[in-house]
Structure 1
């Protein structure tokens, strides 16, 4: 019998995400899935031969296992396998949940420690919401770059910034210039922001020198997570010219703990909500079915301050100007190749939606609200302009399978702001 899933759990049988956990009883990180309010240790299932009928996972379990794929501390070995193996493992898990696993395999989620799930060599972040670009242009009093309508803008980030949910973020330090007439100073940021994004993990590698056909982009995507691109706006502003962001974006990039696969997202494939200009170049034009160009993932973020919760944004992945498939195709378009475990951020997913007051509640970061027309009373009235020490940002993503009507999600991407690490200038003279 199918073990019942508690109402409101993001981890239904339509989901079957993948992550890496450890427990007090076994501190070794290993691969897992989530079902209801429980984690399922995939290495334990692997040891008893539960996947031995799947090519690539043959064996009788125990020491006779050929690969021990799920005993690894990352998901790279599994992610690199063909999509057909991913589907077969997923189908086996669905069958086990429907038939009933012994209680010993269920580990309460509140008892597990999450670990960053992949060995990541490359991290890139995009700038692909037209509304976000428009709003930033207003705030910075700058024009929209003409190239935005021809290529998905992107920069290379720092893998050292990548953090699993619940990892605190120390307020970053950097060089800031409070006003044009004051000298630059090295100090903690006074303009710490969040950006609500999604992260996309690479599965199948692409050799250097090859380029990616957009029709094959899905074959190289393992799955999606919710991503918070923490941003120090004053540091970023001073350093932007001429090479783009560095320390302003390097303090932290948080992700939700469970990777939701493309197989799970098949039921939420949809058309894009934002019409693209006619100038999209042939290699970036979506050639598949129009209703499968992107995914219907509802996203929200809230700020927790002094014990109270404030809704900050509500948006959707399908409101990006450039889709994840187009982003990945562009990422590989110069022949740099793709590596299993790499991740890219979709960029801030700002939409033009409004709430019942007519306020723009689809704005997915705080700096955009500096424009008077973008103010949100629920934040402005509480003095939430940028993040303070002690603030916590909580992001979530939810889907509804269009075929079954079942709701599922990604789990929380959560992080708290801690004070800047102590620094005395006289110690460095």
Structure 2
């Protein structure tokens, strides 16, 4: 299996006891991020079990092409390096965190994750959101165009739009309900006020590594080398604002008020054992155009990822009730691969840069058990959902907390996770 090495060995254990058997961050994961220990400034770290290893403290023990880049408050410079340098870093970190002879060096540099504050892992220059979840696109299209849910271009073009990088926030930062123009079907004119149809969207995020020069596309066969890692992404959506504003130019204020991401970069290298073949297209679907087709990408361009969304209302938390599972699904519902997304984005010569963030679009399953938004679950607000405390929801109310999670699984390998992607909804200002 390409990219699988000793760092993925299921028998390897960590000298950090909490990492052994950890649901998200065993030693086989080693995601990178930016954190602040109590009372200190932001710095690079690696998640290991319930702890975070401060990377600047072991810089002298890391490969020299990498060690000097781990002292600032972003990971952009590290992400700009060739993948071979990330592989070398991963191998060295795996050794430091597994070999007991390094205990005296490592233990003083460990911080309890629960005591730390997580930050964005990179300075995000640009954020683009795609629409590659075919079941979501079909479900939403059917709400507006029952006889023709997918537009003719969908199976030829990876559809996307440019979002707002400045409003991307890490997990845990509350979402303030947005104001905007909204016009219900039974209203003659629009009004301005808090969104009445606030929704979440279950997505994966792509962190760009090495970029490309302006005017020089990224070939599909090389696109994978330009991806540094992945995260969870919640593209919060004001559906009522979106319905009024999106024609003719698409999403604007309905999307740009807040985007939540899981703060750890799960590296492309960590996910090597979980690569699987891209599911075949339905009979009669067009083949990708040549600039979007690569045999190797079709053989291993998808990921064996289990996705889950949970909701906890204020009343549920007051009563000590556990979060309610809204949906469970798989990342194999992507109609286009990660490499196809990147290759298409750069196909016109657009220059992507280290630290750019790309969303996949909402990933929904083929039935309601895997729907990735309340718009689908409630059928556009027509079918209320009942929560454990007896409350009902068609869209999100103030005080609701939405949490996305993802786990990679493959036979013969230790599962790894992405950490939480969570936020509470606050009232509009």
* Separation of aligned partners in 2, 1:7 and 1:41: 22
Residue 148 to residue 293, structure 1, CA distance change in 2 (3 Å): same
Q: Does residue 1:222 correspond to 2:232, yes or no?
A: no
* Separation of aligned partners in 1, 2:335 and 2:295: 16
Paired residue for 1:384?
Answer: 393
Q: Does residue 1:22 correspond to 2:36, yes or no?
A: yes
Q: Does residue 1:76 correspond to 2:81, yes or no?
A: no
Paired residue for 2:122?
Answer: 118
SS of match in other structure, 2:296: coil
Paired residue for 2:10?
Answer: none
Deviation of 1:186 after TM superposition, in Å, equals 0.8
Which stretch has the larger CA shift, 127-136 or 226-235? 127-136
Match of 2:256 among 242, 250, 253: 250
* Separation of aligned partners in 1, 2:66 and 2:356: 23
Deviation of 1:274 after TM superposition, in Å, equals 5.3
Which stretch has the larger CA shift, 375-384 or 157-166? 375-384
Paired residue for 1:324?
Answer: 338
SS of match in other structure, 1:110: helix
Q: Does residue 1:166 correspond to 2:177, yes or no?
A: no
Deviations 1:219-249 (A, max 9, x none): 1000000000000000000001000010000
Deviations 1:195-227 (A, max 9, x none): 000000101010000111111111100000000
Deviation of 1:113 after TM superposition, in Å, equals 0.5
* Separation of aligned partners in 2, 1:400 and 1:81: 28
Residue 181 to residue 98, structure 1, CA distance change in 2 (3 Å): closer
* Separation of aligned partners in 2, 1:374 and 1:182: 21
Paired residue for 1:2?
Answer: 14
| Structure 1 segment 307-346 matched on structure 2, within 5 A | 307=317, 308=321, 309-346=323-360
Paired residue for 1:280?
Answer: 288
Q: Does residue 1:199 correspond to 2:211, yes or no?
A: no
Which stretch has the larger CA shift, 163-172 or 179-188? 179-188
Match of 1:208 among 198, 209, 214: 214
Q: Does residue 1:412 correspond to 2:420, yes or no?
A: yes
* TM-score between the two structures when normalised by the length of structure 2: 0.89
Deviation of 1:2 after TM superposition, in Å, equals 3.0
Q: Is the 8 A contact 1:368 1:374 kept in 2?
A: no
Residue 256 to residue 8, structure 1, CA distance change in 2 (3 Å): same
SS of match in other structure, 2:122: coil
Aligned Cα root-mean-square deviation (Å): 2.0
Deviations 1:365-410 (A, max 9, x none): 01012439996865597412100000000111101244x4211101
Deviation of 1:322 after TM superposition, in Å, equals 1.2
Match of 2:111 among 107, 112, 116: 107
Deviation of 1:318 after TM superposition, in Å, equals 1.6
Q: Does residue 1:92 correspond to 2:100, yes or no?
A: no
How many equivalent pairs are there? 400
* Separation of aligned partners in 2, 1:304 and 1:242: 36
* Separation of aligned partners in 2, 1:266 and 1:163: 27
Q: Is the 8 A contact 2:143 2:380 kept in 1?
A: no
Q: Does residue 1:177 correspond to 2:176, yes or no?
A: no
Q: Is the 8 A contact 2:66 2:78 kept in 1?
A: no
Q: Is the 8 A contact 1:313 1:364 kept in 2?
A: yes
Which stretch has the larger CA shift, 132-141 or 149-158? 132-141
Paired residue for 1:61?
Answer: none
Which stretch has the larger CA shift, 101-110 or 122-131? 101-110
Which stretch has the larger CA shift, 288-297 or 265-274? 288-297
Paired residue for 1:64?
Answer: none
Q: Is the 8 A contact 1:131 1:350 kept in 2?
A: yes
Paired residue for 1:65?
Answer: none
SS of match in other structure, 2:370: coil
Which stretch has the larger CA shift, 195-204 or 291-300? 291-300
Residue 391 to residue 207, structure 1, CA distance change in 2 (3 Å): same
* TM-score between the two structures when normalised by the length of structure 1: 0.89
Segments of 5+ residues of structure 2 without an aligned counterpart are 1-12
Q: Is the 8 A contact 1:363 1:369 kept in 2?
A: yes
